[in-house]
Amino acid sequence: MRDVPTKVCCGARGGGLVMRDRYCFEEVEPKWQEQWEEEGLYRVGEDSERPKFYQLEMFPYPSGRIHMGHVRNYSIGDVMARYRRMNGWNVLHPMGWDAFGLPAENAAIKHGADPASWTRENIAHMGKQLRGMGYSYDWAREAATNDPAYYKWTQWLFVQLFKKGLAYRKSQKVNWCPSCATVLANEQVVNGECERCDTPVIRRQLEQWFFRITDYAERLLRNLDAMPGWPEHVKTMQRNWIGRSEGMDLDFEVAGTGEKLTVFTTRHDTVFGVTYLVIAAEHPLVERLIAGQPNEDELRQFVSDVIAQDDIARTADDTEKVGMFTGGYAVNPASGEQVPIWIGNYVLMDYGTGAVMGVPAHDHRDLEFARKYGLSVRAVISPPGAKLDGDTMECAYVEDGVQMNSGRFDGMPSGEARPAMARYFESSGKGRPTVHYKLRDWLISRQRFWGAPIPIIYCERCGQVPVPDVDLPVVLPTGVKFMPTGQSPLLGCSEFVNTKCPVCGGPARRETDTIDTFVCSSWYFLRYTSPGSDDCAWDKSKADYWMPVDQYIGGVEHAIMHLMYARFFTMVMRDLGLVGVDEPFKNLLTQGMVLLGGHKMSKSKGNTIEPDEIVAKYGADTARLFTLFASPVERDLEWSDEGVEGCWRFLQRVWRLVHRCVEGRESSRLAEGRVTAATAGMAADGSAVQRVRRAAHAALKKVTEDLGVRNSLNTAIAAIMEYVNALYSLKDQAFAEDGGDAAMAEAIDLLVVMLAPFAPHIAEELWHEVGHSESVHREPWPKYDPDVLTVESVEIAVQVNGKVRDRITVSVDVSEDAAFEAAMASARVSAAIGSASVKKTILVPGKLLNIVARRESP
RNA sequence: GCCGGAGUGGCGGAAUGGCAGACGCAGGGGACUUAAAAUCCUCUGUCCGCAAGGGCGUGCGGGUUCGAGUCCCGCCUCCGGCACCA
């Protein structure tokens, strides 16, 4: 049982206009939730008559219970969905479950249960919690990624990628988390640690499945330029992650062997300044270069040290650059000069060509390295009006300048030398312009149980064979032992592994790795458009109707991984002709975190507030209202129990206001009153009726702009609060005037309608109590009446030299001269001017008059 | 180091270059009450002043402007992301 706050709960039920002490959310909220569900208030279908709006929030992992971050995320989305709906859009607002993943498996291991039922129970519980929040989802479209009916299509999509050559297997050094006992994608490694469990990641050479996202690097990057609906910081993060770098591959010849050693550089204009090359310890030439060297053993030791050190130490801030001379030399393709080839720990094999040219005069790192090992330094670009001396320079010169020591390019500005030298290299075949990306292919295979099996069959005769469509889904077997051993648990399940080749019918083995859960979440927004469809992943015509998602909302922690994978997937789907858009999310909003005591709420820190407790004590509307009001949506929100109380008090205040206005006025209010409300604009100047109407339409204008244009929910709520305050102070006076009932009826209607997107339950209850029979959530969003807001006179500030000295009331269209005259009548203004003479005046209509006065110089 | 974002009362936060501090919280005072809670009204940036009134105030220093929290230049601090990427 919940702990119900004091006082008698509710008064009479059934629409009677009985004044109640208190808004009884315990009764009202479930009542309307059931009612809405029953009448299918939030069900949607395609409708060519109305503009569509696809409102989506990132679906949750069913970890067991919803947390405040969910409440905030989904409350923001719900306000937007409701606002759009009331404005006549056909709104798709679905919810589902990102249900594969490690926690289910780990929980199952810990409790000896099975991940499927653990997940099922969590979904059931969290679904109940979300329903209790009153979110306007079309639950008929609910999807869960662990449902065979869903992952059938995840597997099918994998097969499509495989057939296009976008899914492939290769052996590579990959990131391995020893604690999770599985490989990780590059994106899942944060500071050398597993992003999930913070265990230091180790590198293992393994054969794994990859998606060729690098093929889409350029498109993923370019499209960002045409995505004004995304926050700049997210686009920047993606650009950095993609890491496009334009430059040249230059071929050096290994002296005496005729072998090519290619380096990548963005500064080919400094090539005459190369005094050494450095290659990665893993570089294929290492073996040939060091074999037979007098210090071969020492070199081998160094190489294996670097390879071992590499990953963990490399990410440390202050790892020292170390290197060793291989004994080999390379020929500079520009000058023909021979330079030593070194091995260095700071050169990465998996970026560029795994080899770099050392130009210490013009690169900070190279200079540090050269000074450390006594390598020569040669300046080839001089700064304007200065001379560089390679032997003595202490700081690399990295700017543009004029070429020197550069053969026939001497004297050229480096900006001109670059294209000239590029042409030279290209024509001589010693170099070519290239683009390299930091982005790596996406590693999608996992050695864990709780995921969609990769639908591939290995046949000795036919090789890798995709599972035919008719055999999908490849269902996860039950009763598997899945202790994390570092190998897929499915490996031990012979009924699963052993199968027949779909091509030749011969004996074959199934792939036992499962698919990264990020794959499942890369297309769920498409599945929502065709819930439950059995013969396709989604119906193209429906997807084309709904896509793209018009407003996507989620945490910024998904700025790179999820948001880039989903973009990649959508592009691939488009190339396959399965969907008509290139980009899935038109507008993106990244909401801030929920903090308690300055730190992100988290179970491990123990600083959480349970949504259930708040809902039990104050109701869902209060919980929603607080998370929306306490902070602008994009910024972090500091939890405050007092702030929650404030929102609760506000809703009670609304409740009392509406009841007091309705009490005993059955005859004069409602329809009759509303008709005359339209003519109440005639109300006498300064009357309470006029002020009520102004307050109503001013609030409506503000809330409309804040919701429709600015996504500024906290200020919209503030405007409603202000409006309620105004009604409290005006109502008695207004009721005493002619037309007061009508004006107040209109005012209360507008209040309830404006409140509906934020606090849907109390709004619905009040809406019915003031005499409406349809749902307030079917009510069209009202339009404010500009005529009500027009005023004849206005109070403006009078400034003297920028300082406010007085306020005067003038007509709205007052001339500057007339305003000045009125201002001069003020003793305070004339005192402020004193003996100075007025140089000029500036009138900002409706705001202020500034009088510029200067004392004559003596 | 590089790239973002942010610095405003006791606190969360408002302010298309135009009256800084809306709204909420916390706090003071009052009404109602036998009393308390709840509610309603009211005050609340800071300094000087009995008051009227005035001075000072949006991280710091400059600048543009009749007018700057807002625009420009140079810093400081905090938060987030990337970080040997050649």
CA dihedral A270, A272, A277, A278 (to 10 degrees): -10
Q: Is the CB of A497 under 7 A from strand B?
A: no
Tokens of residue A31, six digits: 């009542």
Segment A338-348, tens digit of pLDDT? 999 999 988 98
The pLDDT of residue A62 is above 80: yes
**Which residues from 706-725 of A have any strand B atom under 7 Å from their CB?**
712, 714-715, 717-718, 721-722, 725
pLDDT of residue A856: 62
Whole-angstrom Cα distance, residue A13 to residue A21? Answer: 13
Q: What is the pLDDT of residues A570-609, one digit of tens each?
A: 999 999 999 999 999 999 999 999 988 888 888 777 888 9
pLDDT of res. A190: 80
- CB of A236 within 7 Å of some strand B atom: yes
Mean per-residue pLDDT, A665-675: 48
**Both structure tokens of A345:** 């720990």
Q: Which residue has the higher pLDDT, A179 or A38?
A: A38
Strand B nucleotides in reach of protein CB atoms, 7 A cut-off:
3-5, 11-15, 18-20, 22-26, 38-42, 53-55, 66-68, 80-86
According to DSSP, the residues that pair with A794 across neighbouring strands are A810
Report the alpha-carbon distance of residue A684 to residue A696 in Å, rounded. 17
pLDDT at residue A261 tops 90: yes
ipTM: 0.95
Q: Which nucleotide is nearest to A648 (CA to C1')?
A: B24
Put simply, whether the predicted model's pTM sits higher than 0.90 gets the answer yes
Which whole number is the average pLDDT over A769-779? 93
pLDDT band of A150, cuts 50, 70, 90: very high
Stretch A560-571: mean pLDDT:
95
Peptide bond into A548 cis (omega under 30): yes
A640-659: per-residue pLDDT in tens? Answer: 999 999 999 999 999 999 98
Strand B–CB A684 distance below 7 A = no
Instruction: Give the residue carrying structure tokens 């109940």.
Output: A128
A36 vs A395, higher pLDDT:
A36
Cβ-based contacts (< 7 Å) between A 197-226 and strand B: none
Closest nucleotide to A807 by C1' from CA: B19
Residue A665 has pLDDT above 80, yes or no: no
Cα dihedral A828→A833→A834→A838 (10° resolution):
-140
Indicate whether A678 pLDDT > 70: no
pLDDT in tens, A804-838: 888 888 988 889 999 999 999 888 888 888 888 88
**pLDDT-derived band of residue A316, with 50, 70 and 90 as boundaries?**
low
Burial group, residue A502, by CB count within 10 angstroms (0-12, 13-18, 19+): middle
Q: Is the CB of A247 under 7 A from strand B?
A: yes
Confidence band for A108, pLDDT divided at 50, 70 and 90: confident
Strand B neighbours among A 633-662, CB < 7 A: 635-638, 640, 642-643, 645-647, 649-650, 652-653, 656
Round to a whole number and report the distance in Å from the CA of A807 to the C1' of B52.
17
Name the percent of chain A lying above pLDDT 70. 94
pLDDT beyond 50 at A17: no
Report yes or no: A655 and A766 within 8 Å, Cβ to Cβ.
Answer: yes
Residue A796 half-sphere exposure toward CB, CA atoms < 13 A? 27
Name the nucleotide with the smallest C1'–CA separation from A722.
B23
pLDDT of residue A3 exceeding 70: no
What's the Å distance between residue A28 CA and nucleotide B33 C1'? Answer: 31
Residue-level pLDDT at A392? 87
Contact A497, A490 (CB under 8 A): yes
Instruction: Categorize the per-residue pLDDT at A740 as very low, low, confident or very high, splitting at 50, 70 and 90.
Output: confident
Mean pLDDT across the stretch A96-125?
91
Residue A19 has pLDDT above 80, yes or no: no
> Which tens digit of pLDDT belongs to each residue from A367-421?
989 999 999 999 999 887 778 888 888 888 888 889 999 999 999 998 899 999 9
Strand B reaches within 7 A of the A434 CB: no
A816 touches strand B (CB under 7 A): no
At A736 the pLDDT is 86
| Measured CA A653 to C1' B13 distance, in angstroms | 22
d(C-alpha A58, C-alpha A469), whole Å:
29
Distance A599 CA to B75 C1' (A): 29
pLDDT of residue A85: 97
Q: Percentage of residues in chain A with pLDDT exceeding 90?
A: 67
CA-to-C1' span, A762 to B11 (A): 29
Residue A670, CB, strand B, below 7 Å: no
Q: Would you say residue A308 has pLDDT above 80?
A: no
Per-chain mean pLDDT for chain A: 90
Decide: CB of A809 under 7 A of nucleic strand B: no
